[in-house]
Amino acid sequence: MVSIYDLTYNKEIAAEPEQPLISVCPLPAGRDGWPVAGAFYHNKFVGLQEKAGSGGRLRWVSLASPEGNGYLIRTCILLLVRAVADLYKNGIVRVRHALCKALYCELDIGHTVTAEDVARIKVRMDELIRCKEPVEQLRSSKETIARTCRDLYDGRAAELREHIVAEDVAVYRCGSVTDCYVGPLLPDMGYITCFNLRPYAPGVILETPKPDAPGALPAYREIPKMARLFLESEEWGRIICCEYVADLNRYIADGTIRTIIDVSEALQAKKTGAIADMIVAQKPAVKIVLVAGPSSSGKTTFCKRLRTQLQVVGLRPVVLSLDDYFLEREETPRNPDGTYDFESLRAVDTELFSRQINELQQGRPVCLSRFDFTTGRRYCDKDSTRMPAGGLIMVEGLHALNDSLTYMLPRYEKFKISLGVLTQIRINDHNRISTADTRIIRRMIRDSRFRSRGPETTLKEWENVRHGEETNIYPYQEDADVIFNTALPYELSVMKPYAEALLDSVSSGSRYYSEARRLQSFMRPFTPLSQEAVPYMSILREFIGPWEESRPQGMY
């Protein structure tokens, strides 16, 4: 017998070494009433299929948690893969990207996917849930995982074998389907509370619940502009032959990564120039350019690059950041838990912002507002700014697309730009890289370098940040005149050394330790890349800083 200490219920559990955790789970449901999805055990997230082993300490993971939601989504992907395999010989599922709280998946079933095909697949998925089809976790070595990846994905993902750590990737079997996943799955399909499958040519939309409501599906709405941007991003990945982490690692290994970097940066520069041309074409009607995006989407650097492009065609922009109009710290509104609500429009001094915009447009000299994030204090420039002839106001910030901020201006005087961080590469066809994970890595590095905040502070604030984005960013995206992708296919390799150092500093006693370990696991397959290769004007420099200043200690 071995002893496991249950941190969730503060008690000892006796188990046999080969006994699966599902058999020692104390209740069929967690403290919140939702089923237990898995556990954080031996410093990693595991499924309930995991064996008790040598004992230790564990914390149960609820289906109603962000981690439990990850278990659910991965299991829903396997459910779709299994249903397609049952119905179509040699049928293939490729998970492409997130789309409005759902996943867009391409299907290769030998013919164009029809509404009837989607209905058949959904019926089969429902059958597998009703019969609680088991999901078996296979004990696999690194070599077995690499071989399975090779068989499943035409050899491409097998190139990850030098970077695979067996604890990060597991092989699962469901009926005739054997598949690899980065992260654990639920023990059987009966755990899936609800899902939906809808046609979305040339594939399908797989809808799954959100963490805070496992028993319901979020409202679905069409977001055609964002969908087009995702498709464009993926098509570019195919053009430059950098769709998977294995591709990126190979370019780094053989020394051809410079081509990928140069082409990626040139593409962003070309698109920024095209946006400048669109703005010029709408002058003199356009008086203000508004740039918004979620946290760590690169708003500041994008605006600098756009300003340069506008200067090339004769305009002289004045750039304002909404961050400089934050209320001072003691005046900042608070969340119900007492933390500062920096994500709300109420945290911005909209009266001062409107007054300075009006004064600039009238040609008056203005001492612009500035905000010191270290002290939480606001001050004004010593020197005044005046709108030059041929001038244009550019505003960047979380709320820039919200018309409540610029209510004094008619819509035709505004040019709206929404930024996204749409990661172009994937681990393999069934394991995508979340755009949110890319952004939190960006934010963690930036917060550490420029805002005197450690990784735990970043992780602590992230839930409120994401909630603020749901309220203040995404509802306004489709009203944008342009949506621009700031992600770079090589950036996670550059950020890996910095992120790993920060995540390593999160102690095992921290409540954010498990999330730190998850992020480390997600970044492990990437080959590190020296940030010396990053161009000076790259958006990535906003987060890692200039070369000499941002080099990790002891890296070179």
pLDDT of residue 552: 47
Read off the tokens for 231: 């498709």
Does the pLDDT at position 549 exceed 80? no
Element (H, E) at 92: strand 92-98
Q: 68-82, 124-138, 214-228, 344-358: lowest mean pLDDT where?
A: 214-228
Name the packing angle between helices 245-254 and 257-281 (round to 10°).
120
Per-residue pLDDT reduced to its tens digit, 438-464:
999 999 999 999 888 999 999 998 988
Cis before 202? omega within 30: yes
Three-class SS string for 345-403? Answer: HHHECHHHHHHHHHHHHCCCCECCEEEECCCCEEEECCCCECCCCCEEEEEECCCCCCC
pLDDT of residue 422: 87
pLDDT of residue 152: 57
pLDDT of residue 142: 61
Most confident of 77-86, 153-162, 465-474, 513-522: 77-86
Query: What length is written for the chain?
Result: 556
Task: Output the average pLDDT for the chain.
Answer: 88
Does the pLDDT at position 542 exceed 70? yes
pLDDT of residue 162: 46
Does the pLDDT at position 472 exceed 90? no
Quote the percentage of the chain above a pLDDT of 90. Answer: 63
pLDDT of residue 145: 62
Read off the tokens for 542: 């906003």
Confidence band (pLDDT; 50, 70, 90) for 242? confident
195-200: list long-range contacts, CB under 8 Å, 24+ apart.
195/76, 195/79, 195/125, 196/122, 196/220, 197/80, 197/118, 197/121, 197/122, 197/125, 198/118, 199/113, 199/114, 199/115, 199/118, 200/99, 200/104
pLDDT of residue 156: 47
Element (H, E) at 230: helix 224-239
Three-class SS string for 434-457? Answer: CHHHHHHHHHHHHHHHHCCCCHHH
End-to-end CA distance of the chain: 49
Confidence band (pLDDT; 50, 70, 90) for 310? very high
Which residue bears the tokens 């002290």?
375
Element (H, E) at 66: helix 66-87
> Which domains does the chain possess?
2-62 (3.10.20), 67-224 (3.30.980.10), 226-550 (3.40.50.300)
Per-residue pLDDT reduced to its tens digit, 388-415:
887 899 999 989 999 989 988 999 999 9
| In contact, 92 and 203? CB cutoff 8 Å | no
Q: Which has the closest alpha carbon to 528: 143, 44, 163?
A: 163
The SS3 call for residue 497 is helix
The SS3 call for residue 462 is helix
Average pLDDT over residues 238-258: 90
| In contact, 241 and 251? CB cutoff 8 Å | no
pLDDT of residue 151: 60
Confidence band (pLDDT; 50, 70, 90) for 377? very high
How many Å apart are CA 334 and CA 339, to the nearest integer? 5
Average pLDDT over residues 491-517: 94
Classify residue 122 by its DSSP letter: H
Confidence band (pLDDT; 50, 70, 90) for 226? confident
pLDDT of residue 65: 92
Per-residue pLDDT reduced to its tens digit, 134-183:
999 986 666 666 666 556 554 444 444 444 444 567 889 999 999 888 88
pLDDT of residue 144: 65
Backbone angles phi, psi at 397, to 5 degrees: 165, 170
Which residue bears the tokens 């901020």?
405
Supply the Cα-derived Rg of the chain in whole angstroms. 25
- Which of the pair, 334 or 168, is modelled with greater confidence? 334
